[in-house]
Structures are given as structure tokens and as C-alpha cells.
Amino acid sequence: MSGVSSSWSVTEPSKLSKWLAATLVLAYTLITLLPLLWIISTGFKSGPDSISYPPKVVFEPSLEGYVNLFTTRTRLGAEAFAALPPPETWYDRIVRQSGMVIAGPSRFGERFLNSVIIGFGSTALSIFLGTLAAYGFSRFKVPLKDDLLFFILSTRMMPPIAVAIPIYLMYRQLGLSDTHLGMILLYTAVNISLAVWLLKGFIDEIPREYEEAALIDGYTRFQAFRKVVLPQAATGIASTAIFCLIFAWNEYAFAVLLTSGKAQTAPPFIPTIIGVGGQDWPAVAAGATIFLLPVMIFTILLRKHLLRGITFGAVRK
């Protein structure tokens, strides 16, 4: 049994071509990572450093941006400022340096939490419904199967925002505007077509014999689905979940339109930082950096599933 595909080239590539390939890949990687590096470094710059021209590559790191992101600040009169007791914490100290005091926490924490609830909630719901639907389409005789699948796909044929106004009006009528449930349902509706199609592809690849063996071994159809199909579909579920999460996490237009207060997510919130205390680019960059983390962590956690081959070698074809 050899696990190596026979389509590998027999001749070893030359040293020069290897170097060339490596250089190209490295250069491309740097170019694509540059905006990311820019955002992350800006988050650690001071206000003046962040807008200096030419941009500073070497700078004195500062947590000012992060402190500003999580706080609201006010400027006091000179006497009141002088009469203040010495700063108690490191973040007090940072704020005092720019002649201000902390008035309270900002809304960023809440908005970020909203993003987490809505992003992961809609991802979980999309995967749950998508897996069941994909299994049904893959394994059972469904009347009008092809038409239904096309119909599900057709919801992707226009940009979701094209239906923004009807949805806005519907949501107002239904009381779903600015609610977590409303946003979860909306993002699920957009993601479900992707989930059904992707997962159906993955489930189609799982040989039916596994379930049939389980059925004969005394399991019900649902037990066979849960104990045999789901572990096999883990790879597909993981990659589908990542796609769903990335969409729901980054979605901006609906979030601006439908949320303003208690269910507002981070994407529409971050730009509002600009308006609060002048153009506070370090705070914006800090918000963007923190905003990137969950999707990155989620992807890294599921990486092993993404890389693993499906049903490696257990069925001989």
C-alpha cells in the first residue's frame, strides 16, 4: 500500500527553480500580509506616530490605542486636572499623558460580545440545519430534489444587500430589528445555501456502506447518522463552519442597517471610534486587530480537520 500518488513528477526540480519558487511565494506572502502588519503595528503606535509621513517602521510602542478603544475619556480644566490624585493604574497613567481622564468603559466590549454571539450563533445554526438538509438531499429520494437544490442556491445569485429594504421593513414589523435573534436568523438565511451545497458535496463522498453497516449492526438511521456519518463529515463541517463564520463575522451592511443599540456588532461600531475624539487611528487599528483574533483562532483550531484527508484508506476503491 503506497499512500503516494503516482502523479508526482519523477525528476527532482533543480536547485535554482526551487529557490525561485520559494522567493516568489515569500514575496507574495509578504505583499498579502502587509496590510495586516500595518494594522497591527498602527494599533501599538501613538497618535502622532500613526499619521506621520513617511510612515514610521521603528517606533516606541504604546498601548494608548487599546486603552482608548476600551474607554471613554473627558478633558478637564487645568486646575481640576492638577487637583487629581496621582493615577492608580497603568491605563489611567496613559490617558493622563494626553491631558485627559477616563470617564468610563467604552461600548467596544459589548459590541464585540454581540459579534461573538451573532457570529457563532448563526454559524452553529447554519451548520446544524445545513448538515441535516445536506444529509437528506444526499441520501434520500426527495421530490423535486434538483429544483429545491437550485432554489437554495439561487438565493446566492444576488448580493444579499439587494433585499435590504424589504428585510428592514419586515424586521421592523416583526420586532426583530436590533435583536440578536434577528441577526442570527438573517446571517443563517444567507449562509444556509452555502452550507447545504458544501456539506452535500462532503456527505456524497462518504460511502453509504458505513451507514448500511451501522443499520445492520442494530442502529437506527439517526444513530447511524450521528455516530458514523458525522465523524466522517468532520472535515467538511469544519471548513463549512469557517466559511459561515467569516461571512457572519465580517458582515457590515446589514449590521449598519438593522442594528444600532443592543445588538450592534463590532464592524459598524469600529468606524464610529473615528468620530469620538478626533481621528484616533491607533484605537481603530486596535479594534480591527482584536476583531481579527476570533476568526484566526477558530481557523487555527480547526486546521487539523481542514488538512486531514477524508476517510483515508478505510474503504478500498
Partner 1 sequence: MAEIVIQNLRKEFGAFIAVQGSSFTIGDGEFFMLLGPSGCGKTTTLRMIAGLEIPTSGQILIDGQDVSRLPASQRDIAMVFQMFALYPHLNVRKNIAYPLVSQGVPRAEVARRVAEVARILQIEHLMDKGVGGLSGGDRQRVALGRAIVRRPKAFMMDEPLGALDAEFRETMAEELRALHDRMGATTVYVTHDQLEAMQMGDKIVVMNHGVVEQFGTPQDIYDHPATLFVADFIGSPAMNFLPFEGGFAPGDVSVTLGGAQIAVPRLHEATEGRKLVLGVRPEHVTLGETGALRGRVLASEYLGTSQIITVETAHGPIKARAPSGQPARLGEPLALSFAGPRLTLFDQSTGRAFLTDANAGVHHG
Q: Which residues of the chain form contacts with partner 1 (CB under 8 A)?
A: 1, 207, 209-210, 212-220, 223, 228, 231-232, 311-317
> Could you count the other beta carbons within 10 Å of the beta carbon of residue 33?
11
The answer to whether 273 and 72 are in contact (CB under 8 A) is no
Least distance to partner 1, CB of residue 239, Å: 18
What is the distance of C-alpha 264 from the center of its chain? 16
Least distance to partner 1, CB of residue 108, Å: 42
The answer to whether 280 and 235 are in contact (CB under 8 A) is no
Nearer to partner 1, 15 or 316 (CB): 316
Nearer to partner 1, 93 or 221 (CB): 221
Least distance to partner 1, CB of residue 217, Å: 4
The answer to whether 119 and 248 are in contact (CB under 8 A) is yes
Nearer to partner 1, 225 or 281 (CB): 225
> Could you count the other beta carbons within 10 Å of the beta carbon of residue 82?
8
Nearer to partner 1, 1 or 16 (CB): 1
> Where is 36: in which H helix or E strand?
helix 15-43
Here the contacts of 271-280 (C-beta below 8 Å, separation 24 or greater) are 273/68, 273/69, 273/108, 276/72, 277/68, 277/73, 279/51, 280/47, 280/65, 280/68
Residues whose CB falls within 8 Å of the CB of residue 223, separated by 6 or more in sequence, listed in order: 214
Least distance to partner 1, CB of residue 146, Å: 15
Least distance to partner 1, CB of residue 213, Å: 4
| Phi, psi dihedrals of residue 73, rounded to the nearest 5° | -130, 150
ω into 54 cis (within 30 of 0): yes
Least distance to partner 1, CB of residue 223, Å: 7
